[in-house]
Amino acid sequence: MKEHEKRDNTLMTSGTIWKQILFFAIPLILGNLFQQLYSMVDAIIVGNFVGPNALAAVGSSMTLINLIIGFFIGAAAGSGVVTSQFYGAGNDEGVRKAVHTTLAISIIGGIILSVAGVLIAPWLLRVINTPDEVYDQAKNYLQIFFAGIFFSIIYNMSAGILNAVGNSRKSLHFLIIATLSNIVLDLVFVALLKTGVGGAAVATDISQGISCFFILRYMRKVDASYRVTLKDIRFYDNLAGKIIKIGLPTGIQNIVISLSNVVVQAGINGFGASVMASFAALGNIDGFIILPILSMSMAATTFSGQNYGAGQMDRIKKGTKTSILMACGYAIVAGCVMLIVGPFIIRIFTQDQTVIHYAVFMMRIMYPFYWLLGIFHVAVGTIRGVGKTFQAMVMSLVALCAARILWIWITSKIAHSLLLLIACYPVTWILGAVIAFVYIKWAKWLVPPEAHELDCL
């Protein structure tokens, strides 16, 4: 297959908008669902074969993992924006340099994150008031997980490159293999060898290594502008600065929003191990439910990035409306279904009636409002794709961080109430949807590339 034929298969600058977004998003949704299986399988097997305290330990650890890794995932978003704009403009040399610069950043960042994560894990667990009865298990899980997080960073940055050029199917294939490996290894280490939460972390590290190997192997052999040559991995021109400039706001956004979730986790910890276990189980279920919305947001980022590079501003506007309608429609259906079947799904994680009770209680507060996330995340994804990552960061930090922390602080002064604590989610989702709607409707956010300060095209 010739290069221009491959480009036509992945370009999103022409054709039926809803079909392109949907067909691009489906592999992303499936991939993210399998990615979520990593932590969900850990939680299910640990909860059933080790106990509620172990489940609470894994849940508390995952909150911190999302906090640390979020910054580097933000950097991947910066690379994706630059790469998609080069790709949409037909600049193959720009794509090649962006890809190899991205891998150089991810290698250095992965090493730093792995070492730092192992060292600061005990301190982080104390910061969020992890109860003594789960501290040792949480520390064990977290340190082992961070020891292998290098592979996760490389995989996610590489998958971001494939997504930026519209090739969301290949990374899905590799992720399925890794997820199946994780399930088998979890059963071997935890259920058979009785290695506890540490075994679950080792299984996850090995599985991430598998996905990293396969995606790099593919990118080294593919006949396209984003092909990887190991000797070419280095910083090119001023691309590292541009990638960091675009990705830094998203990285800051991710880490600060994750920090707000750490504040929520600290509040949850104050209600004891049973509520912690409920929140951990709900978090895994929630991860599955929200992933199609996040995948639609990622699709909107690639769609707007490629069309921005091609100078098609009207097509970006149409794509934004289409993506929001699709995401909201899904969220309404998913929320209604989960209110019915959610209590039965919780029983997959644990048979403890107290844990089940609290999880169902939290579901009823959150799920009716999921459609608001469709508006917010798709709008932010679109804005990020045209390079306005600072504006996207500000909206996210105001709605999902500052307002959330303020709500928790005010309500904690009123009463020690689980209802008021969990209500921070729907309240801030409403605020985010309003902010996104106002910005998309009235702000001047679509400036043609020729007039934009980002001169990467």
Note whether residue 323 is domain-resident: yes
Note whether residue 6 is domain-resident: no
Contact call for residues 256 and 329 (beta carbons, < 8 A): no
**pLDDT block averages, 10 residues each, the chain of length 457:** 47 82 83 69 77 77 71 71 83 88 88 88 82 85 89 86 82 82 88 86 89 91 89 85 78 72 81 83 78 85 85 89 92 88 82 85 89 91 85 88 89 87 92 91 73 44
Give the Cα-Cα-Cα angle 391, 404, 379 (nearest 5 degrees): 35
Q: Whole-model pTM?
A: 0.72
pLDDT of residue 36: 67
Note whether residue 219 is domain-resident: yes
Note whether residue 53 is domain-resident: yes
Most distant CA pair in the chain, distance:
65
pLDDT of residue 5: 39
> How far apart are alpha carbons 397 and 419 in whole angstroms?
23
pLDDT of residue 10: 60
Note whether residue 2 is domain-resident: no
- CA 367 vs CA 293, 338, 348: distances in Å: 13, 7, 19
Q: What is the CA radius of gyration of the chain?
A: 21
pLDDT of residue 454: 43
Structural domain of residue 29, as residue ranges?
14-450
Note whether residue 355 is domain-resident: yes
Note whether residue 307 is domain-resident: yes
Q: How many domains does the chain have?
A: 1
Other beta carbons less than 10 A from residue 389's beta carbon: 26
Note whether residue 244 is domain-resident: yes
